[in-house]
Amino acid sequence: MPTTNINYVRHTILCAVDPNQPASTTVNHFSGTEGWTTIQYKDFNGDYEPHDHLNADRTPGTYQARNYDNTVRTPAPYQRHDVNNDPVEI
């Protein structure tokens, strides 16, 4: 199984292991439809705390696709393309 950042360890400026490691969870992601098998990686979002423009805590919102003029749009389904940018029919 391919791994990415599983062995990451934060170090201090003096190259010593930092006792304050970032919070993380190990994720096993199956990407068979993308041509891979199972990828294992660490998700370091455990310490993420969203803030607004005034630096006040806020609840993260869900993703919303938008047009160039910031109006809400419905995302189109994913379409794979070949090297000539022609749609690939599966």
| Count of positions (residues) in the chain | 90
- HSE of 35, CA atoms in CB hemisphere, 13 A: 1
Query: What DSSP assignment string belongs to 6-68?
Result: TT---B-TTSPBPSSPPP-EEEEEE-GGGT--EEEEEE-GGG---B-TTS-B-PPPPP--B-T
With a cut of 90, say whether residue 15 has pLDDT above it.
yes
The yes-or-no verdict on residue 2 having pLDDT over 70 is no
pLDDT-derived band at 60 (thresholds 50, 70, 90) equals confident
Record the tokens describing residue 16, joined without a space: 């010593």
Is the pLDDT assigned to residue 27 strictly greater than 90?
no
pLDDT at position 62: 84
Residue holding tokens 């993260």?
60
Query: Whole-angstrom Cα distance, residue 36 to residue 43?
Result: 19
4-33 average pLDDT score? 85
Please tell me the predicted confidence (pLDDT) of residue 40. 82
